[in-house]
């Protein structure tokens, strides 16, 4: 080789036609604003169908309803299921489904007063009052205070909706249990007591009376009529009393707006259920952070990475979503250029979603776009 002579080596790059075609399709979808259709096409190809389906749903206007259906909680299906329930479906003949407190002997042992004997005793006490006596002990004893007819006839000036302050009883204890094992059914004395309390606006006492004698539905109804504060206390009392029922924990978190606690204590295996609750009840301001917490929890406990990915997408966390995609790509065989193309396709759609729009693109995304540009530049068209 002669000194001072320059040599130029020419290399003809190869052409990956599939890569070029898919890059053109992605570019066309971005330019024409048809990314939802692009997602649907990818979903039909069954390449990461769940991720493409979720991103397609996030383009819809009725996103929340579609999301609940996506994770298996279709409102229409569940409504139809509930409405079609029959008595036979409850399997009441099965010993496992019978209430534990249904035994009459057990109720009589644990009940201070027998619901059957109580009306007879109170009727005897109520007779003098009906004849013009000084008190109505049968009714008043249920509330533990004096509210005889003479008080009203004597000119106590108190409007029916708001009884005098001295007559207001203390707030009921949230965890107090009924005095009876089974709810007291129609009962002349008890019904008369509740009716009188309602007529004079004493809803606090009426609610407490209903609780003590097992009429929980009546208690909630009366509390709703008695004002917001009373209803909230009664609602909490009801939830505390029925805390052992599976649905009550979820309901209590929703009612008290403790969704973060619900996420923190949720079962990772039931992540779809938790996500459905967030979709249904979380506010727009807290939805993203709650989904991010759920996704982080799933990632930490080592659940299926796709579950964490879907929750990170709902949270709009592009960085964490792409990181998981990269981790999964590293474990998947295939041509690096095509794997990069598949990743860029998902990232390009992800960045257009409203939940994922960001002023500053994460560094990992920028690096991948730079790598993608180099690959495309090396292709001969």
SS3 string of 26-38? HHHHHHHCCHHHH
Print burial letters for 222-231: b (CB count within 10 Å at least 16), e (below 16).
bbeebeeebb
pLDDT at residue 3, as a whole number: 60
pLDDT at residue 70, as a whole number: 87
Question: Which residue range(s) make up the domain with 278?
Answer: 18-68+256-377
Query: Which residue in this structure is represented by tokens 């792409």?
Result: 322
DSSP of 222-270, one letter per residue? HHHHS-HHHHHHHHHHHHHHTTTSHHHHHHHHHHTT-HHHHHHTS-GGG
User: Does residue 159 or residue 223 have the better pLDDT?
Assistant: 223
Q: How far apart are the C-alpha atoms of 37 and 197, rounded to whole Å? A: 63
Distance set, CA 200 to CA 161, 223, 230, 278 (Å): 6, 14, 16, 42
DSSP of 30-92, one letter per residue? HHHT-HHHHHHHHHHTTSSHHHHHHHHHTTSSSHHHHHHHHTT--HHHHHHHHHT--GGGG-T
pLDDT digit string, tens, across residues 347-364: 999 998 888 887 777 888
Distance set, CA 320 to CA 44, 213, 310, 329, 330 (Å): 26, 54, 11, 14, 16
Q: Is the pLDDT of residue 114 over 80?
A: no
**237 and 267: one domain?**
no
Distance set, CA 229 to CA 55, 191, 196, 205, 233 (Å): 42, 24, 21, 14, 6
Q: 172 in helix, strand or coil?
A: coil
Indicate whether 157 belongs to any domain: yes
Indicate whether 205 belongs to any domain: yes
Q: Is the pLDDT of residue 177 over 70?
A: no
Q: How far apart are the C-alpha atoms of 295 and 313, rounded to whole Å? A: 9
Q: Is the pLDDT of residue 73 over 70?
A: yes
Least confident of 8-22, 56-70, 264-278, 334-348: 8-22
pLDDT at residue 252, as a whole number: 83
* pLDDT level of residue 8 (50, 70, 90 thresholds): confident
In the numeric block, which tokens belong to residue 254?
């929703």
**45 and 122: one domain?**
no
Mean pLDDT value of segment 49-72? 87
Q: How far apart are the C-alpha atoms of 2 and 336, rounded to whole Å? A: 41
Q: Are 311 and 287 in contact (CB under 8 A)?
A: no
Q: Is the pLDDT of residue 370 over 50?
A: yes
**236 and 281: one domain?**
no
Average pLDDT of every residue of the chain: 75
**200 and 267: one domain?**
no
SS3 content of the chain, % helix, strand, coil (to 5): 65, 0, 35
Q: Is the pLDDT of residue 100 over 90?
A: no
Q: Is the pLDDT of residue 160 over 50?
A: no
Print burial letters for 261-293: b (CB count within 10 Å at least 16), e (below 16).
ebbeebebeebbebbbbbbebbeeeebbbbbbb
Mean pLDDT value of segment 329-335? 87
pLDDT at residue 87, as a whole number: 52
**264 and 211: one domain?**
no
pLDDT at residue 296, as a whole number: 94
Q: How far apart are the C-alpha atoms of 280 and 201, rounded to whole Å? A: 36
Which of 177, 211, 241 corresponds to the end of one domain? 241
**121 and 237: one domain?**
yes
Half-sphere exposure of 163 (CA within 13 A, CB side): 19
Q: Is the pLDDT of residue 155 over 90?
A: no
Q: 16 in helix, strand or coil?
A: coil
CA nearest to 261, candidates 290, 230, 223: 290
Number of folded domains in the chain? Answer: 2
The winner for highest mean pLDDT among 79-88, 106-115, 136-145 is 79-88
Q: Are 251 and 239 in contact (CB under 8 A)?
A: yes
**188 and 279: one domain?**
no
CA nearest to 256, candidates 271, 243, 239, 242: 239
**283 and 206: one domain?**
no
Indicate whether 193 belongs to any domain: yes
Q: Are 225 and 161 in contact (CB under 8 A)?
A: no
**CA-based Rg of the chain, rounded to a whole angstrom?**
34
Indicate whether 101 belongs to any domain: no
User: Does residue 127 or residue 51 have the better pLDDT?
Assistant: 51
* pLDDT level of residue 147 (50, 70, 90 thresholds): very low
**59 and 125: one domain?**
no
Query: How would you classify residue 173: left for phi > 0, otherwise alpha for psi between -120 and 50, otherwise beta?
Result: beta
Q: How far apart are the C-alpha atoms of 269 and 220, rounded to whole Å? A: 34
**216 and 294: one domain?**
no
**280 and 228: one domain?**
no
């Amino acid at each position: 080789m002669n000194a001072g002579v320059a040599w130029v080596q020419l290399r003809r790059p190869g052409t990956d036609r599939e890569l070029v075609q898919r890059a053109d399709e992605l570019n066309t979808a971005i330019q024409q604003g048809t990314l939802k259709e692009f997602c649907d096409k990818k979903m039909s190809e069954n390449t990461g169908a769940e991720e493409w389906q979720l991103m397609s749903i996030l383009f819809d206007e009725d996103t929340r309803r579609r999301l609940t259906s996506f994770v298996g909680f279709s409102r229409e299906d569940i409504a139809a299921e509930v409405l079609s329930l029959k008595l036979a479906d409850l399997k009441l003949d099965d010993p496992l489904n019978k209430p534990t407190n249904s035994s009459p002997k057990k109720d009589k042992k644990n009940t201070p007063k027998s619901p059957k004997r109580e009306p007879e005793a109170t009727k005897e006490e109520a007779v003098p009052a009906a004849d013009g006596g000084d008190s109505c002990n049968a009714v008043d004893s249920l509330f533990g205070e004096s509210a005889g007819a003479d008080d009203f006839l004597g000119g106590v000036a108190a409007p029916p909706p708001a009884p005098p302050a001295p007559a207001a009883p203390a707030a009921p204890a949230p965890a107090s249990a009924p005095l009876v094992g089974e709810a007291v059914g129609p009962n002349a004395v008890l019904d008369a007591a509740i009716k009188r309390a309602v007529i004079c606006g004493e809803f606090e006492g009426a609610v407490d009376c209903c609780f003590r004698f097992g009429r929980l539905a009546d208690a909630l109804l009366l509390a709703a009529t008695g004002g917001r504060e009373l209803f909230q206390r009664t609602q909490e009392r009801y939830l505390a009393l029925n805390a052992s029922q599976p649905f009550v924990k979820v309901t209590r978190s929703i009612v008290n707006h403790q969704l973060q606690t619900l996420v923190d204590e949720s079962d990772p295996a039931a992540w779809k259920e938790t996500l459905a609750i967030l979709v249904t009840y979380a506010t727009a301001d807290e939805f993203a952070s709650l989904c991010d917490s759920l996704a982080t929890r799933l990632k930490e406990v080592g659940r299926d990475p796709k579950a964490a990915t879907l929750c990170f997408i709902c949270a709009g966390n592009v960085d964490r979503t792409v990181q998981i995609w990269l981790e999964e790509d590293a474990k998947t065989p295939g041509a690096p250029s095509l794997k990069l193309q598949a990743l860029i396709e998902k990232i390009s759609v992800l960045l257009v979603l409203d939940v994922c729009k960001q002023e500053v693109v994460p560094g990992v995304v920028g690096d991948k776009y730079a790598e993608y540009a180099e690959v495309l530049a090396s292709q001969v068209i």
